[in-house]
């Protein structure tokens, strides 16, 4: 049992190292197979990040007030994750709307420079996040919304590996940083991802949870069609896009339900 727990902790820390900029122990054991198995813990990374942001919010709220505190936790969230998902959103929008062929779209997505489409998407996403969180704070639903959105958005995003091909220049990748993650979950792993991702929905009224899960599933279906249409699969950038859009959808649905 002790060895099993140590192995699972190593997998969780691998997931945390992939999705955050938190310092990791030097003796962390890595292999492509371990990295793939660690993806089951991506929603758990969301739980940890949300908890850290909630703690920070409670500490600074009496000193700064609501709006500055929300601005601060958005900034800290970007620092904690290295803006990984936001970068994916910007790259995806630049590629899909800036290229005329699949190959060109993928090439633009790999370009580290940001264009007009990516800039607009990034600005609007951050602005929307601030406005939605401000409204949720006013309804006393900020804490619950963060606990729901951070794990669930990551769970819904990573499920795209289940039924889509990971692509680069319109062919399966080889040697990519994200390649070890590009394998479908087993049935047991998929259930674990979905349960840990959606667990905080228990804090919401039943009807809100129902609308939320329906909305997340519908968005996932639409994103799958969108990615397939433009690049015939998914990349790490499109997973970041999926996470960001799912997070915004979750905030929107909760706000519409509790207002």
> Does the structure show a pLDDT above 70 at 248?
yes
> Does the structure show a pLDDT above 50 at 258?
yes
Q: Which residue has the higher pLDDT, 60 or 14?
A: 60
Residue 112 CB coordination number (10 Å): 6
User: Using one digit for the tens of pLDDT, what is the confidence trace for 178-201?
Assistant: 556 667 889 999 999 999 999 999
Q: Is 187 exposed, middle or buried (0-12, 13-18, 19+ CB in 10 A)?
A: exposed
CB 8 within 8 A of CB 117: no
Average pLDDT of the chain, as a whole number: 91
**Long-range contacts: 54-61, Cβ < 8 Å, 24+?**
54/143, 54/146, 54/147, 57/142, 57/143
Q: Is 256 exposed, middle or buried (0-12, 13-18, 19+ CB in 10 A)?
A: exposed
User: Using one digit for the tens of pLDDT, what is the confidence trace for 80-130?
Assistant: 999 999 999 999 999 999 998 999 999 999 988 999 999 999 999 999 999
């Amino acid at each position: 049992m002790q060895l099993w727990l140590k192995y699972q902790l190593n997998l969780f820390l691998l997931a945390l190292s992939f999705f955050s900029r938190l310092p990791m122990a030097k003796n962390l054991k890595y292999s492509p197979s371990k990295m793939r198995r660690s993806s089951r813990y991506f929603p758990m990374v969301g739980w940890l990040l949300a908890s850290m942001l909630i703690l920070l919010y409670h500490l600074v709220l009496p000193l700064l007030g609501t709006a500055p505190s929300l601005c601060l936790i958005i900034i800290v969230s970007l620092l904690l994750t290295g803006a990984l998902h936001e970068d994916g959103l910007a790259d995806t929008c630049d590629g899909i709307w800036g290229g005329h062929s699949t190959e060109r779209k993928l090439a633009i997505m790999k370009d580290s420079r940001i264009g007009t489409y990516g800039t607009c998407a990034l600005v609007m996403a951050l602005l929307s996040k601030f406005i939605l969180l401000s409204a949720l704070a006013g309804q006393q639903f900020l804490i619950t919304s963060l606990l729901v959105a951070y794990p669930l958005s990551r769970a819904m995003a990573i499920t795209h590996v289940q039924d889509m091909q990971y692509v680069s220049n319109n062919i399966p990748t080889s040697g990519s940083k994200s390649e070890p993650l590009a394998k479908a979950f087993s049935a047991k792993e998929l259930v674990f991802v979905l349960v840990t991702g959606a667990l905080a929905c228990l804090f919401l009224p039943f009807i809100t949870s129902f609308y939320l899960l329906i909305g997340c599933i519908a968005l996932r279906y639409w994103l799958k069609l969108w990615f397939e249409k433009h690049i015939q699969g998914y990349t790490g950038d499109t997973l970041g896009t999926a996470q960001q859009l799912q997070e915004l959808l979750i905030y929107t649905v909760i706000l519409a339900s509790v207002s």
